[in-house]
Each structure stands twice: as C-alpha cells, then as structure tokens.
Amino acid sequence: MDFFTYRENQLYAEDLPVKQLAEEFGTPLYVYSRASLEQRYQAYAEPLAGRPHLICYAVKANANLGVLNVLARLGSGFDIVSAGELERVLAAGGDPARVVFSGVGKQTEEIRRALTVGIKCFNVESIAELERIEAVAEEMGQVAPISIRVNPDVDPKTHPYISTGLKANKFGIAFDLAREVYQQAASLQHIKIIGVDCHIGSQITQLSPFLDALDRILLLVDQLKEDGIEIHHLDLGGGLGVRYQDETPPTPAEYVAALLERLGDREFELIFEPGRAIAANAGILLTQVEYLKEGEEKNFAIVDAAMNDLLRPALYDAWQGIIPASIKEDGSNKAWDIVGPVCETGDFLGKDRELNLTAGDLLAVTSAGAYGFAMASNYNSRNRPAEVIVDGAEAHLARQRETYEQQMAGEQCLPK
Ligand SMILES: Cc1ncc(COP(=O)(O)O)c(C=O)c1O
Ligand SMILES: N[C@@H](CCCC[NH3+])C(=O)O
C-alpha cells in the first residue's frame, strides 16, 4: 500500500488523488503504480545482484501491456503459459530470449511460435509434451531448450485451488519419475536440457515449503550429474505470498537469502517467476457505491464493480481490503457487505466491512494488481474495466474500458 496513501483524508495513487482518476476515467477502474511495480521488481533483483539470475515475471498475474512494458524496461524476463501471453510480451517490448514457457497444455502452434521467436526455455510438464516438443523442433530443424518441471510433492500450505506441487496436482512430472524423464530427454536429438524447474503454488507465506522443494531439486540435480546431465539453471518458480490482510510472508530479500544459503557455492543461474509479489500490491480497483440497501440481517452496499471485474473473493473466498477514497469527518461506521450487480450470491468483494458509507462514495479494493483484471470476464455481458498506470503526477491510460461493440465483435446472428 506504500504508493497508495492518504493525504489530508484523500486517498492518493502516487501523486494523484484517486477521486480525480475516477472522474477522468470512470469506474470501475484498475489503477497501478509504476513506482510500486519497479520497487517490487527491484526487491527481487537486488538480493540476486552479482550472481547469474533472471526474474521472469509471471504474466498471468497482470498481462496489461503497460505493466509488461514497465517490467521489460527494467530487463525483466517473463514466464508465460500461452501464445497469447507471448504475443503480449513481444508487443510490450519484452525480449523473447528471456521468456520461459510453463503450462501443462502447450499446443503445437504455441510450441512452434515459441521456437520461431527463440524463447529461453520450455518448462516441460509431461512425457507427452516432451515428445511433442521434440517432434515440432525436428520439423522446424531446431533444437528446443528445456527444463523438466518437477513436482516435488511438497505441501505449500496455501489455498487448495492454488497449490500445484503436490502429487495430487496436475502440474509437473512426479519427483520419482523425473530422473528417468531427464534420461529420455537427453536421448532426443532436438531437445537440449538446460535446467530444472519447479513451482509449488501461490500465495505461500512461509519459507519452509520453498526450502523443502529446493532440497528435493538439489537431490535430483546431483543424480543428474551422476547420469552425465549438466544443469545450467534452476527455475524455482513463483509463489511468494503478499500481505492482503494480516499475513506476514517473507520479503523477497528474506526469501532469496534463505534460498541462496541453501544453495551454498553451487553456481547455477537462478530463475524466479514471481507474479503476485510484484503486481498485487502495486494496484487497486476503484469502484463507486451505486445503492445502499439496509436490511434486518445485512446491510448491502451495491457497487459498480463485480465478480466479473475481480473474481478472487468469489472464487477463493479471498479477503482484500476495501477502503474509502475520502475519509469522512462526520457519520459513523456500520457493517456492510460490498456486493456487485451480478446475479450470483457469490458476487461480493467483501463481507461485514466496517465503513461509513453514503451512496455515490468512491471505494478502493486494495491488493488488486495481481489476478484482478487478468481474471476479469464479460459475465452478465458487462464491459471489462479500464486500467491506468500512475507515474508520479501523471496517469497513463493503459487499457480503455471495453465497449459493447468490442464485446460483441465477431459474433453474428444466423443468416436466416
Ligand atoms: C508456473 C507458474 N509460475 C509462476 C506463477 C506465479 O505465481 P505467483 O503469482 O504466486 O508468484 C504461477 C502461478 O501460480 C505458475 O503457475
Ligand atoms: N489466480 C490465483 C492465483 C493462481 C496462481 C496461478 N498459478 C489468485 O488469484 O490467487
């Protein structure tokens, strides 16, 4: 929240009152802070200075072109999970040679495109995928650089929907199989093994799961060495949690320091794929109160943002802060459920929030920079909101609010 602060009872995004942004760009509105994105990227990069490393920002967290461009200018790499994300990275000025490609379902066309532009590495998640990459690379007369994504069977102690490194999850290749799959990969003509990859989940707030995963990865690396397979990089994925409410996750500096200590004098290039830790607290969602509806059991504040704009509360029962754009001198707090216009009982942004509300008030949902707009949809045929990036006292429109025409583009009625 450091770049979103109150000055004389008004909430500011860097040097701009959010009220001014809402007036200029309308609501709902995603607002990102450039300085905050930069600071959070540097928080990862600085503790790694002096050793080979690459921070591959996880595009899925916030794929806005302006956001990607801010990071590309800092020299960031990118972790992608689709050709769509790859095209965004390229459009935003990202370097394909700093792109790693994760995901369990890479399509042939996506593999072809990634080979054409020359990405750094495919993070391979199954034997079938390895075989497909070999076939595509052969057909293109190329050699594909790969890591195997190893599923270390470590409990990340996070929400079950965002835990990825357990045997029961669809991600990666089981730890016990990994050595064999590396041997298979080593025998393929159009595959070049360059690393080992692992990502155990998201919003992880303790160090121990990361360290347990690293221990298993290092064990594997030693085994691979015995097999004559040399590893150039370790990709330790993303997943570092942030504070939404009262969580106390390690800072990137603490997290990196703990991993470096565990690595000792091993000299791999280190790759990280942070998404949330860079973007979540670099953004807010502004929304206006449309109606107040007070009842016997519950008071509802119906706002103009909904689950289609910010899905996390509905999907994971996630808690995100909801704060006023202006702090009032008079009136008093009451408990409100902050709900959207969508026709679902699960359409809420927050429940039982103590706020002093009047219809027309502007509110900010905090920690909305990651998995906010990125997961927005047109449900209920609502237009997706605009996104702006604040840079000091300037606001750059990073994406226009969608229009109904854009929403319907490409659709048509039957000929008769
Ligand atoms: C392979 C991979 N890398 C990186 C990330 C980014 O995770 P986070 O936003 O938690 O840092 C994810 C999402 O969990 C992922 O699936
Ligand atoms: N969308 C999730 C995180 C998913 C992580 C992607 N692998 C969230 O909002 O918390």
pLDDT for 163: 67
Alpha-carbon span 134 to 54, nearest angstrom: 25
Token representation of residue 348: 């809420």
Q: Which residues are catalytic?
A: 343
325-330's contacts with Cβ under 8 Å and 24+ in sequence apart are: 325/10, 325/11, 325/17, 325/18, 325/19, 325/22, 325/286, 325/361, 325/362, 325/363, 325/364, 326/9, 326/10, 326/11, 326/19, 326/361, 326/362, 327/6, 327/9, 327/10, 328/9, 328/356, 328/358, 329/9
pLDDT at residue 218 tops 80: yes
Element (H or E) spanning 312, and its range?
Answer: helix 312-316
pLDDT for 170: 79
CATH fold of 4-31+280-408 reads Lyase, Ornithine Decarboxylase; Chain A, domain 1 (2.40.37)
pLDDT at residue 205 tops 90: yes
3-state helix, strand, coil in the chain (%, to 5): 35, 25, 40
pLDDT for 356: 98
Considering only CA atoms, which residue is closest to atom 5 of ligand 1? 238
- Band of pLDDT at residue 114, cut at 50, 70 and 90: very high
pLDDT at residue 1 tops 60: no
Ligand 2 atom nearest to CA at 164:
7
> Mean pLDDT throughout 309-334?
97
User: Binding site for pyridoxal 5'-phosphate, residues?
Assistant: 239, 273-276, 371
The interaxial angle of helices 127-140 and 108-117, nearest 10 deg, is 50
What confidence tens digit (pLDDT) does each residue in 395-416 have? 999 999 999 999 999 999 999 9
> Mean pLDDT throughout 100-126?
97
- Band of pLDDT at residue 162, cut at 50, 70 and 90: low
- Band of pLDDT at residue 171, cut at 50, 70 and 90: confident
Q: Compute the mean pLDDT over every residue in the chain, rounded to the nearest whole number.
A: 96
Distance, CA 59 to ligand 1 centroid (Å)?
9
Choice among 54-68, 147-161, 353-367, 395-409 with the minimum mean pLDDT: 147-161
The interaxial angle of helices 34-45 and 65-73, nearest 10 deg, is 40
pLDDT for 157: 76
Peptide bond into 152 cis (omega under 30): no
The CATH number of the domain covering residues in 34-276? 3.20.20.10
pLDDT for 34: 98
Q: What ranges do the domains of the chain cover?
A: 4-31+280-408, 34-276
Nearest ligand by distance to the CA of 371:
2
pLDDT for 160: 72
User: Binding site, residues?
Assistant: 239, 273-276, 312, 316, 344, 371
Considering only CA atoms, which residue is closest to atom 14 of ligand 1? 202
Distance, CA 148 to ligand 1 centroid (Å)?
16
> Residue 113 in contact with residue 133, Cβ under 8 Å?
no
Token representation of residue 266: 């091993």
- Tell me, using a 6 A CB cutoff, whether residue 40 lines ligand 1: no
Predicted structure pTM score: 0.97
Alpha-carbon span 109 to 95, nearest angstrom: 20
Ligand 2 atom nearest to CA at 159:
10
Q: Which has the higher per-residue pLDDT, 199 or 160?
A: 199
Q: Which has the higher per-residue pLDDT, 159 or 77?
A: 77
pLDDT for 226: 97
